[in-house]
Amino acid sequence: MKQSDSLKYRGLPLREGSGTMPALGFGTLIPDATETRNATSGALEAGFRHFDCAERYRNEEQVGVAIREAIQAGSVKREDLFITTKLWNNNHRPERVQPAFESSRNRLQLDYVDLYLIHTPYAFQPGDNQDPRDQNGNVIYDKGITLMDTWRAMEALVDGGKCKAIGLSDVSLDQLREVFEPARIKPAVVQVESHPYLPQSEILEFCTSNGLVMLAFAPLGHGIKPGVLENPVIISIAQRVNKTPAQVLLAWAVQRGTAVLTTPKTPDRARENFDISALPSDAMEEINAVQTRQRFNLVTGTGIPGFIARRG
Ligand SMILES: NC(=O)c1ccc[n+]([C@@H]2O[C@H](COP(=O)([O-])OP(=O)(O)OC[C@H]3O[C@@H](n4cnc5c(N)ncnc54)[C@H](OP(=O)(O)O)[C@@H]3O)[C@@H](O)[C@H]2O)c1
């Protein structure tokens, strides 16, 4: 392995000995079932070993099939994979956490899950409807529960042994602290939107000082145009280092110490997005100096996912 290749294989140790997360991860937010299965297989072939799933994506079964096939074919071992899934907003009531976790685990066909995240800090009306709405179309929130109530049930999953680590997603630094301080089992990972237009430096600093991993989603700005992929600084660095803008953005994320998720849907894209190399320090500095600030995903304001079609 060349020194410059090591970035794509970087592993980030999780607190309390709960394993190592490959920094470069494959995100499974893909609406179509067949595309999910093919993209997951393509990602495995390209070298991805970290998979980010969610009950809300409604495709855990297809991810599970692709992973099971690769394990049965002998091309990968379960212990070399790192698989995350997430608890959705309608399952925040403590008594709903374990059943939701077990359902995800069964759909993924896994004996254990490496990481389970509370998908957003918003509790929705408990029940089987992932998107409960009133007559006016407004989300029905569950006011009778705190994030810490849900966290206690997450801790019990780790005690049960089928879940190696737990964490949060789409939280602010204040919400992270609110759970971190009283938690018996501390969050190991915090998943938030992050790219050069939203570096999340305060959360990253908190994570670094407290032994958490910050896991960046939307590293390419969800592909929204104009966005980070069209930024002239990124384009000029890509030309200089002979990489694509996507590879530069993914490398920047890993090199600054975060884990990162990307969602290549074709084998070519999977190979491209896995093939990242270390950037020279002046390139890192130029990206760190980008002043544009933009959040592309508004889930942190309401708990309503920006990119998932509504279906009951
Ligand atoms: N916690 C949360 O609330 C949350 C929210 C959103 C996402 N996530 C997780 O984060 C993962 C990553 O999010 P994301 O995929 O939206 O982020 P992203 O990588 O910023 O955006 C994906 C977009 O980038 C494009 N793209 C991918 N590779 C490219 C390349 N090499 N060159 C040019 N364009 C490229 C894709 O195009 P095509 O459409 O052509 O493929 C797609 O439009 C998701 O799969 C999910 O696991 C979590």
Cα gap 213→174, rounded to integer Å: 17
Instruction: Note the pLDDT of residue 45.
Output: 98
pLDDT, average across residues 251-268: 98
> Residue 1 pLDDT more than 90?
no
> Residue 312 pLDDT more than 70?
no
- Per residue in 195-237, pLDDT (tens digit) is 999 999 999 999 999 999 999 999 999 999 999 999 999 999 9
What confidence category does residue 306 fall into, taking pLDDT thresholds of 50, 70 and 90? confident
Cα gap 268→274, rounded to integer Å: 10
Instruction: Note the pLDDT of residue 4.
Output: 45
CA of 219 to the centre of ligand 1 (A): 7
Angle at 78 between CA 34 and CA 27, to 5 degrees: 45
Task: Specify the higher pLDDT residue, 43 or 310.
Answer: 43
What confidence category does residue 37 fall into, taking pLDDT thresholds of 50, 70 and 90? very high
Q: Which of 169, 263, 300 to mutate to test the pocket of ligand 1 (most atoms within 8 A of CB)?
A: 263
Ligand 1 atom at minimum distance from 52 CA:
47
Question: What's the chain's average pLDDT?
Answer: 95
Instruction: Note the pLDDT of residue 17.
Output: 80
Active site residue 57: yes
Instruction: Note the pLDDT of residue 18.
Output: 84
Sequential DSSP letters for 72-87: HTTSS-GGG-EEEEEE
User: Is 146 exposed, middle or buried (CB count within 10 Å of its CB: 0-12, 13-18, 19+)?
Assistant: middle
pLDDT, average across residues 250-258: 98
pLDDT, average across residues 87-93: 98
pLDDT, average across residues 152-161: 98
Q: Which amino acid, one-letter code, is at 287?
A: I
pLDDT, average across residues 161-166: 98
CA of 184 to the centre of ligand 1 (A): 33
pLDDT, average across residues 188-196: 98
Q: Which amino acid, one-letter code, is at 248?
A: V
Query: pTM value?
Result: 0.97
CA of 79 to the centre of ligand 1 (A): 26
Question: Pairing relation of β-strands 11-13 and 20-22?
Answer: antiparallel
What confidence category does residue 153 fall into, taking pLDDT thresholds of 50, 70 and 90? very high
Q: Given 9, 57, 122, 197, which residue is catalytic?
A: 57
> Residue 186 pLDDT more than 60?
yes
> What are the tokens at 49?
């070993």
Peptide bond into 132 cis (omega under 30): no
Cα gap 30→296, rounded to integer Å: 17
Residue 235's contacts (CB-CB under 8 Å, 6 or more residues apart) are 245
> Residue 307 pLDDT more than 70?
no
Closest CA to 15 of 187, 192, 214: 187
Cα gap 308→285, rounded to integer Å: 35
> Residue 267 pLDDT more than 90?
yes
Q: What is the DSSP letter of 279?
A: P
Cα separation of the two ends of the chain: 48
Residue 192's contacts (CB-CB under 8 Å, 6 or more residues apart) are 169, 170, 171, 200, 203, 214, 215, 216, 217, 300
What confidence category does residue 165 fall into, taking pLDDT thresholds of 50, 70 and 90? very high
> Residue 3 pLDDT more than 50?
no
Cα gap 178→185, rounded to integer Å: 13
CA of 122 to the centre of ligand 1 (A): 23
Instruction: Note the pLDDT of residue 224.
Output: 92
Closest CA to 117 of 149, 87, 146: 87
Ligand 1 atom at minimum distance from 221 CA:
20
